[in-house]
Amino acid sequence: MRIVRTTDYKDMSRKAANIISAQVILKPDSVLGLATGSTPIGTYRQLAEWCAKGDCDFSHVSTYNLDEYRGLSHDHVQSYHYFMRKNFFDHINIDLANTHVPDGANPDSDAACAEYDRIVADAGYPDLQLLGIGRNGHIGFNEPDSVFSKGTHMVNLTQSTIDANSRLFDSPDEVPRQAYTMGVQTIMYARSILVVANGKDKADAVRAMCFGPVDPQCPASILQLHTNCTVIADEAALSKCPL
């Protein structure tokens, strides 16, 4: 793991955007794995700004998002498909036909997950996978478990994840309790991985990810075994790491 310390959220976002833009510049038809949540928004805004200036071209890029709430259609304002349109895709020159998010509207979890596994495999897996990290160490919606997950699967969200996401809904009761998520094994197939983290509330998770035992109780800890993983985090998120 390479750990990059940044001064604050803006610095973290810019450094992460630098890595992603370099990937796209060097390989214009890159396959990008993308994440949702509040942490990557600054990175997406920076990339959109550079795209508007003509410094970054997404016209040949394809993207595959990690996860989606089960039960929400693509046009639902709280869906991750909608999130990606609002925060990134509508602000860059990407072909929307080349953007992919699990089909949360499909009630058949086995079919929805198998189909997403197929299209990610057909794409050859991401050249670069962007990740955030949850307070309990989850990546995507891979929650703490007794084993590391493999392919795309349905998960029951933990209460801590539901609580963390409730700020985005009018009421905690509206937060979906299940999601479809790319599995840990699929994430590890990416040729490079970029993790972004900020804030003191992520400090325990970041320490466990980078310096704890490789344990499915902290799904992100498996990233220690990846051959090309970079963690970009601010001072607060790294405050409990022995650096």
DSSP codes of every residue in 169-216: SSSGGGS-SEEEE--HHHHHTSS-EEEEE-SGGGHHHHHHHHHS---T
Q: Does residue 153 carry a catalytic annotation?
A: no
Phi-psi region of 237 (alpha: psi -120 to 50; beta: other; left: phi over 0): alpha
Q: Does residue 100 carry a catalytic annotation?
A: no
Q: Does residue 136 carry a catalytic annotation?
A: yes
Q: d(Cα 183, Cα 188) in Å, to the nearest integer?
A: 9
Identify the active-site residue in 65, 67, 87, 142.
Answer: 67
Q: Does residue 138 carry a catalytic annotation?
A: yes
Residues paired with residue 193 on neighbouring β-strands, in sequence order: 129, 229
Identify the active-site residue in 81, 100, 138, 153.
Answer: 138
Phi-psi region of 165 (alpha: psi -120 to 50; beta: other; left: phi over 0): alpha
Identify the active-site residue in 65, 87, 136, 165.
Answer: 136
Identify the active-site residue in 143, 165, 198, 234.
Answer: 143
Q: Which residues are catalytic?
A: 67, 136, 138, 143
